[in-house]
Amino acid sequence: MKQPFLPFARPSIDEQSIAAVAEVLKSGQLASGPKVAAFEAALVAYLGGDRQVRVMTSATAGLEMALEVAGIGFGDEVIVPAMSFAASANVIARLRAKPVFVDIDLYTRNIDLNRVPAAITPKTKAIMPVHFAGLPVDMDALYGLAAAHELRVVEDAAHAIGSQYKGKPIGSFGDLVVFSFHPNKNMTTLEGGAISTGDARAAELLEQYRFHGIKRNAFGEVDVMFPGAKSNLTDVAAQIGIDQLRRLDGFNARRRELAHRYFEALQGFTGVVLPARGDAGHSWHMFQVLIDFAARRMTRPEFQKRMADRGIGIGVHYPSIPSLKFYREAGYRDEDTPVAARVGRETVTLPLFPAMTDEDVLRVVDALKAVLKHAVVASTV
């Protein structure tokens, strides 16, 4: 019997959540209201620590606001890994600041913090690491560097809701920590994002940045402090977030089990480069292996097609940022960050989402081995 197509990611929305959303839809309160406040309170309780959380329409919107709150603007330099989704650098460029790309580690896929000092100049104002695929960066080293060089830190934690560093949730400490709730992420609000900060003034500014720059006085009268954005979350989305947050630790526990199954099934297979295993704090947003497509004389789209023919969806996260047109034309060179360039060429994302079974993992690995075996044979004929 033909098995159903296995996508590389799939959100899990349960009946309880659908019923709760229906109630919100019937309530008449659809824009930001009590559910947004409740979702923010739930995130504060989940993260722990003495934190303020504000939610918004996406991590992209959140990263841009966080940079603005940190005072980043024209001509400032912000250090960012060369391997991430383009949004990580786009938000810097949109503020007319300059992204300074630093290379990554081949296995953790995280920014190589040893290379950061050489990238710091008198114009450097902030560092924006990415907890890639849910594996936290070395936070002691990161905040040590930031303190030594008086840099703000905007953590791109788009992949890292539920991740922990030394037993502490990402977002329970740190300067400005930005999560994504896009449908592919470990929890979703359809689209959405959140910022966690320990700074009450920053939280107040974020409220203004996300809603027209509006501040109300003690009488409820509106004033506009600056031209803010329009990036507030709806109560419908917030209700989904409340339900997803309730299930997040369960989702992430299953993600860890599935990652473990991948490591078992791929043990001894030399056809791919595996990611770092991390520890129990890794939330396994994605499981990615590297394949030397050039040596196999196979393109990545061909590989994706052959896997799709076997019913397996394969993602690509991501091309390196300096390889993208806008950045190439701005003068960045992929060769300057060679590890990110290699990962950008060779990375493939295997299916990983909580509803997957252990058998699904074996199906993926069998297909992977069959497709790669075929490619080696083809290239030697």
Ligand X SMILES: Cc1ncc(COP(=O)(O)O)c(C=O)c1O
**Footprint of ligand X on residues 112-131 (CB under 6 A)?**
130
Q: Which of 35, 98, 125, 185 is catalytic?
A: 185
Interface residue with ligand X among 182, 210, 255, 282 (CB under 6 A) is 182
185 is known as an active-site residue: yes
- Residue 353 beta carbon to ligand X: minimum distance, rounded to whole angstroms: 15
Binding mask 243-272 for ligand X (x = CB under 6 A): ------------------------------
Q: How many CA atoms lie within 13 A of 319 on its CB side?
A: 11
Alpha carbons 61 and 111: distance in angstroms, whole number: 22
b/e burial code for range 224-248 (CB count within 10 A of at least 16 → b): eeeebbebbbbbbbbbbbbbbbebb
As a whole number of angstroms, the distance between CA 282 and CA 277 comes to 8
> Is the preceding peptide bond at 318 cis, omega within 30 degrees of 0?
yes
User: Residue 6 gets which letter from DSSP?
Assistant: B
Q: Closest separation between CB of residue 63 and ligand X, Å?
A: 6
Q: Which of residues 56-115 bind ligand X (CB under 6 A)?
A: 58-60, 84-85, 87-88
The SS3 assignment for 164 reads: strand
284 is a contact residue toward ligand X (CB under 6 A): no
Cβ distance to ligand X smaller for residue 87 or 137: 87
As given in the structure block, the two tokens for residue 322 are 């300096």
Choose between 32 and 188: whose C-beta lies nearer to ligand X: 188
Measured CA to CA, the distance from residue 142 to residue 349 in angstroms comes to 27
Residues 39, 88, 125, 99: what is their CA dihedral angle, to the nearest 10 degrees?
-170
* Nearer to ligand X among residue 109 and residue 296 (C-beta): 109
- The count of residues interacting with ligand X (CB under 6 A) is 14
Site string for ligand X, 137-176 (x = CB under 6 A): -------------------x-xx-----------------
180 near ligand X, rule: CB under 6 A: yes
Name the residues that contact ligand X, by CB under 6 A.
Answer: 58-60, 84-85, 87-88, 130, 156, 158-159, 180, 182, 193
Q: Which residues are catalytic?
A: 185
